Amino acid sequence: MQQITLGIIGGGTVGGGVFQAIQRNGDLMASRLGVRFKIAKVAVRNVEKLRSVRIPKPLLTTSWESIVHDPGINVVLELIGGTTTARSIVLRALEVGKPVVTANKALLSAHGEELFAMAQQYGSNLYYEASVGGGIPVIKVLREGLIGNRITRIYGIVNGTCNYILTRMKLEGAEFREVLADAQRLGYAEAEPSLDIDGHDASHKIGILASLAHGFWVKPKQIHVEGISSISRLDIQFAAQLGYSIKLLGIVKKLENTARGRGSVTKSCAAVQVSVYPVLVPNSHVMASVNHVFNAIYVRGDVVGDTLYYGRGAGQDATASAVLSDLADAALDLKCGSKSRIPPFVPHECEGMVLDIDEVVSRYYVRLTVVDKPGTLAKIAAILGQSKIGISSVIQPEGHEGESVPLILMIHDAPNANMTKALARISRLAVVKAEPKMIRVESFE
């Protein structure tokens, strides 16, 4: 039986999980693939450190270079995270012609275009199933399972920390800061949680999916990102009364074609919305029932229709499962002498057609804190009317005593630019006592 020799760079949660999974199911994979894996070296910062997964000391090294340049190692696994040393590792490995498996969504988001170009230049390959959705095989779905489809929609709950916080806020009626502190205590949120709660982790992942679905590299700066730290207990409660749950969604929408040309050549290009922000999701939709640390990715193809992929989006075992999937692909490619059966990003749409957030059309939930006196709603409605924005419903809850009361508006479809300008004017009204809160409403049409 053919043997593939592996070098693992990183012995932490993910690296240790992969080492453990290969020990556990290596024979199973060998029987299915006709290829056996042998781990030659594991690079770590400190060989004396106690680890949750025991790695035999003779396998450990502090030199990642010794793995990359070892002619006996066939596949390099980059499992350290970050975008500096990890970038150097991946570039060096690809340059010497070795396939690389990575779980590093931040690296791909920041440098993916460069890395895939390097892989193509040197005839190597980069595998990245574990970069999005943990154990959910969504990369393989988009690259292979739905290869005969034009992808028109992707909606992703792709950050377990945010989903955990929003779920508990809904179930317990708790405030954001209270649940965040508990999530940090339980290990679901980092001590410095901004990467998660500000939406950046989700933007890394949704950018990779958008690039894969539409064939041109979506740069991080093109993605509109909002987090969940401004979501209050009141917003969760009012959303529930209206029949919605609030979720942080990564959204990729293919919109109508737009003509773009250079000189005498004109191409038909699809404008694509790529965004991350909190959304009111109808409770009747399946995405509203994705709770706690679970992830779900909803994909619509023009042939297949709607599909849903659900599971654990992070954690040692879920990530290790995705890495094993990539190892299987890398092993089969080496066994069959194929550098890349399906290229990772084939340009089939125009470069750079990411829609600016100001042009995105949506429905909206708006919560205002206003003076409870006659004429207040009329002043607000006048500004919205002047901006050609229609109100679909108004709720002024009873039981809120005092001069300032919440006023909830549900708004018809309107461009984002119109809404932000109108709300800026509304915030300057004397009867409005706090910054307006706007959350988009998604219908999944």
Alpha-helical (H) ranges within 187-232 are 194-197, 200-214
Torsions phi, psi of 153, nearest 5? -145, 140
For residue 388, indicate whether it is catalytic. Answer: no
The catalytic position among 205, 247, 254, 437 is 205
From the centroid of its chain, how far is CA 426? 33
Alpha carbons within 13 angstroms on the beta-carbon side of residue 353 total: 22
The shares of helix, strand and coil residues in the chain, as percent rounded to the nearest 5, are: 40, 30, 35
Structure tokens at 429: 């009204």
Q: Which residues of 77-102 are buried (b: 16+ CB within 10 A; e: fewer)?
A: bbbbbeeeebbebbbbbbeeebbbbb
Tokens 């901006």 correspond to 387
Listed residue (290, 348, 5) closest to 160, CA to CA: 290
Alpha carbons within 13 angstroms on the beta-carbon side of residue 437 total: 23
How many Å apart are CA 82 and CA 107, to the nearest integer?
6
Give me the active site residues, please. 205
